[in-house]
Structures are given as C-alpha cells and as structure tokens.
Amino acid sequence: MRSMSSRTAPKKPARAAGKRPRKRENTRARLVEAAADVIATKGIAATRIDDVVGEAGFTRGAFYSNYSSLQEVLTEAIIARANALMERVTAAVEAMEAPTMESLMEMLDSIRPEARAIHLLTSEYTLYRLRHPDSPQMAAGREELIARFSEIIEKVLARMGRRPAVSTTSLADVICLLYLDSVVNQPARSAGSAAAPPAQVPPSDASTSTYEVIEAVLLGLSEPVEASPGVGSPT
C-alpha cells in the first residue's frame, strides 16, 4: 500500500503546476484584450487601471501580479494584435496561387478594421513616448513585425515574378505608411452598417487613391525576375 501511495503522490503537484501557467496565460490574455479595447476607446491618458480590470472582470491585484503599468500592457496588446494580423495576412497570401494587384488590394481592404484598431493603439503609444521619452521602448517588437511584413512582400513579389529593387525593409516601411494613411481616411461606419462585414464597407476616395499609390510603389520599386540562362546557353 505504501508503494502505491508513493507512486501516485508526485502526480498531484504536477497537475496543479500545469494549471497555474495556463491560468496565468488566460488572465494576461484577458487583461491585454480589455486594455486594448479601453485604451482604443478612451485613450491612454484617460484610462485607469480600474477601467481595465473592470472590463476584464478582475481585481487590481490580478493586474499588478502580471503587469507593472498601463504602458506595459499596452505594448503587449499592440504586439499581440499585430502578430495576429500578420498571421491573417500570411494565410491570405499563402492562399493566393497567383497574386494580382486587385487581389492584394481586396485583401488590404478586408483587414482595415483590424489595422485601424492597431493604428489607434500605436498612436496612443507614440504620443505617450513623445511625452515620456524615458519610458521603455517597443523597438524589438516593431523590428520583428517589419521583418515579417518584409518577408510577406518578398513572397508576394516572387509569386508575381518580380523582386525588390530596393531594400525590402524600406519597401515594407513605405507601404505600411501609405496603407495606414488610407486607414485613417476611411469613413466611419454608420449605426445601421455597424454589423456589416468589413468587405461591405466601401473605401473612401482617399483610400482608393492611396491604393493606386501603393500599387505604383510596389511595381515601381521592384523589377521582373529574368530567367537565368541554362548551362551552355549563349551569354
């Protein structure tokens, strides 16, 4: 009997230890989503920790056991939402056998609501950093996202039979800026269309002209890939 007890006893703390990390991850995820929603609506200057924990259904103790400030949870919210958006864009590009400018613009149009939400959060972060230059930077997260977007652009161009004529990172930066400009100029939805799918919300004239500029930049700063001559071919 003692030997059976000794074999089963160690399993209990193992199960408990496995639950704690999952519970902590779930708590952090709910706090991140709550902070993103509240800050996007009110702005970080008007947001209080009580607002975030109230939205998430937690106490202040739960917040401070995971984060030290609103700025920290905002940084994590930006990275989490941007990573989710990059995953969606990557999946959309992978599904395109032969990307065209029209299919790319349709894809960009479909992610406008998510991009707009992220742009709100990054704008709040930028304003806070300008007012508090000694606050921690989010450089590592931004570099990772630009690197992922650069890979997507390179893959899209390759499938179009083209290659970048400039640094892919520079190209990604320019396209991001142009796209965010179109996101800012997107007209707000009316109350009657709030539940409509994103694809049913037409872009403004400003965003349409921006898409034309994106197309010009993407094609103008890339070049066709010439087939390499085979072995023995004349040079």
Residue that terminates a domain, selected from 67, 83, 99: 67
Residue that terminates a domain, selected from 29, 44, 67: 67
213 in any annotated domain: yes
**In this predicted structure, what is the pLDDT of residue 138?**
62
3-state secondary structure of 144: helix
Strand pairing partners for 223?
163
- Per-residue pLDDT tens over the stretch 138-161: 655 667 788 889 999 999 999 899
Tokens linked to 129: 């950093």
Query: Based on the structure, what is the number of domains in the chain?
Result: 2
CATH assignment at residue 18: 1.10.10
235 in any annotated domain: no
- pTM exceeding the 0.85 threshold for the entire prediction: no
Amino acid at residue number 104: L
- Per-residue pLDDT tens over the stretch 201-210: 455 555 567 8
Task: State whether 92 and 153 are in the same domain.
Answer: yes
The listed range with the strongest mean pLDDT (4-8, 126-130, 171-175, 228-232) is: 171-175
Distance (Å) of CA 154 to CA 70, 87, 168: 36, 16, 7
Task: State whether 133 and 152 are in the same domain.
Answer: yes
Task: Say if CB 149 and CB 172 are below 8 A apart.
Answer: yes
Please determine, for residue 231, whether its predicted confidence score (pLDDT) is greater than 50.
no
195 in any annotated domain: yes
